[in-house]
């Protein structure tokens, strides 16, 4: 099991501020699972418009945070070094609780299947002990410059 700081995260995935939605990797079991922390702050740009006076993290950005965590899990495999993981499908996404400034979002991703250049993962975004979002994601791994 290993951990990664934000610099190590940026070495693996191309996302940068303001679209990097994680602060650290808490647990990484390559090929198996990952747990990532995202500290949600009022300084996030999306809170200016979603929603004024009632700040709520958009569900699509929670899915994006889960996808970024899944990308790290996938790209830590030696065979995918220097590649990019592209989101191919979102299945059965469910939103159960709003995420607000001050929340600590824990992103839990577990590898379900992986073969060749594709993989599926199951994901949960948690606030404290409550599930804020769950989904299944499918990925396609390719060279960063390739056209899918």
Q: Which domains does the chain have, with CATH numbers?
A: 2-143 (3.10.129.10)
Pair of tokens at residue 120? 């599926």
Q: Give the residues across from 108 on adjacent strands.
A: 35, 124
Look at residue 143 in the predicted model and tell me its pLDDT.
87
Is residue 78 within 8 A of residue 30, CB to CB? The reply is no
Look at residue 144 in the predicted model and tell me its pLDDT.
75
Is residue 84 within 8 A of residue 133, CB to CB? The reply is no
Q: Identify the CA nearest to 133 among candidates 144, 122, 117.
A: 122
Provide the annotated active-site residues.
50
Q: Identify the segments of the chain with pLDDT beneath 50.
A: none
Pairing of β 83-95 and β 118-127: unpaired
**Contacts (Cβ under 8 Å, ≥6 apart) of 128:** 104
Q: Identify the CA nearest to 107 among candidates 131, 84, 82.
A: 131
> What is the C-alpha to C-alpha distance for residues 46 and 57, in angstroms, rounded to an integer?
7
Look at residue 148 in the predicted model and tell me its pLDDT.
65
Q: Give the residues across from 139 on adjacent strands.
A: 87, 119
Look at residue 125 in the predicted model and tell me its pLDDT.
98
């Amino acid at each position: 099991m290993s951990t990664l700081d934000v610099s190590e995260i940026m070495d693996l995935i191309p996302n940068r501020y303001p679209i990097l939605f994680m602060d650290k990797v808490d647990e990484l079991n390559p090929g198996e699972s990952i747990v990532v922390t995202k500290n949600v702050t009022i300084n996030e740009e999306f809170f200016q418009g979603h929603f004024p006076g009632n700040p709520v993290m958009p569900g699509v950005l929670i899915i994006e945070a889960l996808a970024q965590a899944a990308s790290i899990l996938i790209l830590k495999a030696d065979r995918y070094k220097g590649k990019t993981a592209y989101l191919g499908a979102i299945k059965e996404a469910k939103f159960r609780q709003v995420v607000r400034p001050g929340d600590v979002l824990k992103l839990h991703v577990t590898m379900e299947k992986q073969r060749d250049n594709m993989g599926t993962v199951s994901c949960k975004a948690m606030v404290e002990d409550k599930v804020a979002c769950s989904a299944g994601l499918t990925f396609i791994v390719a060279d960063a410059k390739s056209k899918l």
